Chain A
Amino acid sequence: MVKKWFQKLSVKLKSRFENKLREQKKPYIVPSKFGIYFGSGILVIILLAFTYANQLLYLIAFFYSSFLFIVMHLTNNNMKHLKIDSFFIPSFFRDQKGKISITIKNEHLKYNSRFVYLSIQQFKIKKEILLIKPMETISLFIDFEAEQRGLFPYPQVNLGTTFPFGIFYSWKRIGRKLNYFVYPFRDGNKDLPYSDFNESKDPSIINKIAESSLEGDFTMHKDYTQHDSFKRIDWKVFARKNKLYVKVYDKESRQILFINFEEHLRDLDPSSFEKKISQLTKWISISLKNSIPCFIKFTHKNIELLQTPKDYENIFQVLALEKHDSKIHGSRRKEAAHVSL
Chain B
Amino acid sequence: MSLSKIVDSYSWLTFSIALSSLALVPDIPVWITAASAFFWCWKLMIFSFKLASPSKITTGFFSFLFFVLIYLEFKTYLGKESATSYIVILASLKLLEFTEEKEKDFIILLGFFLTSAKFLFSYDLLFLFISVPIYIILTLNLLPSRWIKENKILAVKYLFKIFLLAAPLSLLLFFLFPRITKTLTSININSKEGVSGFSDAISPGSISELSLSNEIAFRLEIYHNKYFTNKNLYLKGLVLEKNSSSMNWGVHNKHFQLTPATPVLEMDYKLILEPSQQMNLFALPSTNSLFSEAHKVYYDHNKIYRTDSMIEKRISIRGSIGVTNDKVSEESKNLNLELLPVKNEIEPRKDFSQNHEKFKKLISELKSKSNSSNDINSHILNFFKNGGFQYTLSPGIDKNLSLETFLFKTKKGYCEHFAAAHAALLRHSGVPARVVVGYQGGEYNSLGEFWTIRQKDAHAWVEYLNESFFWVLTDPIGIIAPNRIELGGQLFSSYISDNLTVQEIQNKMNSKDFINKTLMWFENLNYQWNAFLIDFDFDKQKLLLKELNLTTGSAILLLLFVLIGLSFINKILGRSPLPKPYSFLSFNKINEWAESYHLGKRDQEGPLDWKERILEHFKTSSNSSSSSKKIDPSLFFQSIDEIFDLWIQISYASAETPAHLKSKYVTLLKKIKLLKKRTQ
Contact = CB atoms under 8 A, between A and B. Distances in A.
Contacts of A165: 139, 142-143
A44 B110 CA distance: 13
B570 interface: yes
A215 interface: no
Contacts of B658: 109, 135
Interface string A53-85: 111111110111111011101100100110000
B570 A63 contact: no
B471 interface: no
Given A45-B116, A164-B158, A55 B536 contact: yes
A70 B109 CA distance: 19
B511 to A, nearest CB: 28
Contacts of A71: 162
For the residues of A in contact with B, the DSSP-based class is helix
B166 A70 contact: yes
Interface in A72-123: 73-74, 77, 80-81, 107-111, 114-115
B109 A53 contact: no
B30 interface: no
Contacts, number: 119
Contacts of A63: 166-167, 170
Interface residues of A, number: 46
Contacts of A70: 162, 165-166, 169
B142 A53 contact: no
A57 B563 contact: no
Contacts of B183: 51-53
B546 to A, nearest CB: 20
A310 to B, nearest CB: 32
Given A66-B170, A70-B165, A114 B147 contact: yes
Interface stretch (A5-13, A34-42, A189-197, A291-299): A34-42
B165 A53 contact: no
B80 A53 contact: no
Interface stretch (B173-181, B212-220, B645-653): B173-181
Given A41-B109, A109-B577, A167-B142, A48 B162 contact: no
Given A62-B173, A73-B570, A81 B182 contact: no
B341 interface: no
Nearest to A81: B576
A37 B173 contact: no
Contacts of A108: 574, 576
B105 A34 contact: yes
B15 to A, nearest CB: 20
Contacts of B570: 73, 77
A37 B105 CA distance: 10
A202 B116 CA distance: 92
A34 B143 CA distance: 13
B375 to A, nearest CB: 52
Contacts of B169: 66, 69-70
Contacts of A81: 576
B173 A57 contact: no
A62 B170 contact: yes
Most chain A CB within 10 A, of B116, B182, B537, is at B116
Closest 3 CB pairs of A and B: A66-B169, A62-B173, A63-B170
Given A34-B109, A77-B570, A109-B577, 5 more contacts: A41-B112, A57-B116, A70-B166, A80-B574, A165-B142
